[in-house]
């Protein structure tokens, strides 16, 4: 089966500019996640969707970050305006199910989108 697709792979912008990342999850996966991974750190959850509804966005900086999941399939993550500290890899992941532990909650990650803010 095809994996989680993300684009662009790399993006360099000036601070205060805007950027958008796109994710196409594995077909049939109900749950989609966006993680931020700063160099030298583990991934931090930004937002979790189940179908097209938001399950958790408690760590999303809502003054500058926004995300949507179109028709419960693809998703976009937008940053506007970008700050220097937003430089990171933005990872998208999907899973068949959600909630507690089960075999359906195995996450498959995409390769990520590396953002550099100058």
Contacts with another protein by CB under 8 A lie at 4, 33, 35, 40-45, 48, 55-56, 91, 93, 98-101, 105-112
Please report the DSSP string for the chain in residue order.
Answer: ----EEE-SEEEE-TT--EEEEEE--TT--EEEEEEE-TTS--EEEEEEETTEEEE-TTS-TTTEEEEEGGGS-EEEEESS--GGG-EEEEEEEES--SSS-GGG--EE---EEEEE-
Rank residues 7 and 108 by Cβ distance to another protein and give the closer one: 108
CA distance 82 to 118: 10
> Minimum distance between the CB of residue 114 and another protein, rounded to whole angstroms?
8
Rank residues 4 and 115 by Cβ distance to another protein and give the closer one: 4
CA distance 66 to 87: 16
> Minimum distance between the CB of residue 81 and another protein, rounded to whole angstroms?
27
> Minimum distance between the CB of residue 105 and another protein, rounded to whole angstroms?
8
> Minimum distance between the CB of residue 38 and another protein, rounded to whole angstroms?
10
């Amino acid at each position: 089966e095809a994996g989680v697709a993300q684009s662009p792979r790399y993006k360099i912008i000036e601070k205060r500019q805007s950027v958008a990342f796109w994710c196409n999850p594995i077909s049939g996966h109900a749950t989609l996640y966006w993680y931020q991974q700063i160099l030298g750190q583990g991934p931090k959850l930004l937002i979790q969707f189940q179908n097209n509804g938001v399950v958790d966005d408690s760590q999303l900086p809502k003054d500058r970050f926004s995300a949507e999941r179109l028709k419960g399939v693809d998703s976009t993550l937008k940053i506007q305006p970008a700050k220097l500290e937003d430089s990171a890899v933005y990872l998208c992941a999907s899973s068949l199910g959600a909630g507690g532990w089960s075999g359906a909650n195995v996450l498959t990650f995409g390769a990520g989108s590396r953002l550099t803010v100058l």
